[in-house]
């Protein structure tokens, strides 16, 4: 079915001629057409602005959520800082108990000095560096001295793990202590 545009055109032309003959209708038509044109132009002109406003509102919402999360993180950091300040004095003791370096010479000196202070004579001392500072030693002396030495190792500021311990009685009543132990350290990664 073909559209007969000539008849439609003729009908609109007759309508417009009728409107031209009536001034009230003519002014009303011009007013309505002017308002439609103004509305189209306003929408066409304001559309980019409205799109920009919508984008900015969405960004603002995202930034407010981000600010809220950052405030929560800042609060957690403040709490962690308060806890750190409370335990800061004890961290020095922890660093002495589990140092960041092997410090095998400090372990050797400390263990041998403790043996000497307890009245024991060190016969042999060996150090093996691995995951921990492992050491083995043989000392001799009286029972009270051995007891003081082992108690001193337990109270040492450095954590010392005693792997094996044996006490043998030698000819003449002297006691010999054979000890294998390890001093723990935690290297920084």
Q: SS3 for 142?
A: coil
Predicted confidence at residue 89, as pLDDT, reads: 82
Range from 46-50, 53-57, 126-130, 169-173 that averages highest in pLDDT: 53-57
CA distance 99 to 88: 16
CA distance 18 to 119: 131
pLDDT of residue 1 exceeding 50: no
Distance from C-alpha of 28 to C-alpha of 160, rounded to nearest angstrom? 103
17 CB neighbour count, 10 Å cutoff: 9
- Over residues 80-99, the mean pLDDT reads 83
Asked which of 5-14, 81-90, 177-186 is least confident by mean pLDDT, the reply is 5-14
Give the helix, strand, coil percentages of the chain, each rounded to 5. Answer: 60, 20, 20
More confident residue, 113 or 76: 76
Q: Is the pLDDT of residue 142 over 90?
A: no
CA atoms within 13 A on the CB side of 37: 6
pLDDT average, residue stretch 13-19: 73
Instruction: Tell me the range of 106-115, 116-125, 180-189 where mean pLDDT is highest.
Output: 116-125
pLDDT bin (cut points 50, 70, 90) of residue 15 is confident
Count Cα neighbours of 75 within 13 Å in the Cβ-side half-sphere: 6
Which residue, among 106, 118, 80, 117, has the nearest Cα to 160 in the 3D structure?
106
Q: Give whichever of 20-24, 56-60, 150-154, 173-177 has the largest mean pLDDT.
A: 56-60
- Backbone φ/ψ region at 119: left (φ over 0), alpha (ψ -120 to 50), beta: left
């Amino acid at each position: 079915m073909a559209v007969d545009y000539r008849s439609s055109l003729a009908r609109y032309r007759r309508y417009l001629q009728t409107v031209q003959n009536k001034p009230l209708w003519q002014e009303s038509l011009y007013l309505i057409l002017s308002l439609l044109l103004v509305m189209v132009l306003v929408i066409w002109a304001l559309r980019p602005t409205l799109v920009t406003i919508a984008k900015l509102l969405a960004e603002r919402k995202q930034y407010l959520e981000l600010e809220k999360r950052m405030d929560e993180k800042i609060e957690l950091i403040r709490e962690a800082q308060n806890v750190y300040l409370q335990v800061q004095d004890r961290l020095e003791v922890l660093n002495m108990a589990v140092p960041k370096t092997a410090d095998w010479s400090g372990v050797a000196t400390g263990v041998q000095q403790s043996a000497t202070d307890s009245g024991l004579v060190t016969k042999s001392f060996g150090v093996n560096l691995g995951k921990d500072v492992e050491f083995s030693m043989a000392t001799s002396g009286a029972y009270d001295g051995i007891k003081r030495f082992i108690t001193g190792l337990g109270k040492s500021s450095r954590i010392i793990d005693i792997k094996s311990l044996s006490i043998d009685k030698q000819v003449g009543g002297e006691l010999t202590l054979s000890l294998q132990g390890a001093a723990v350290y935690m290297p920084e990664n």
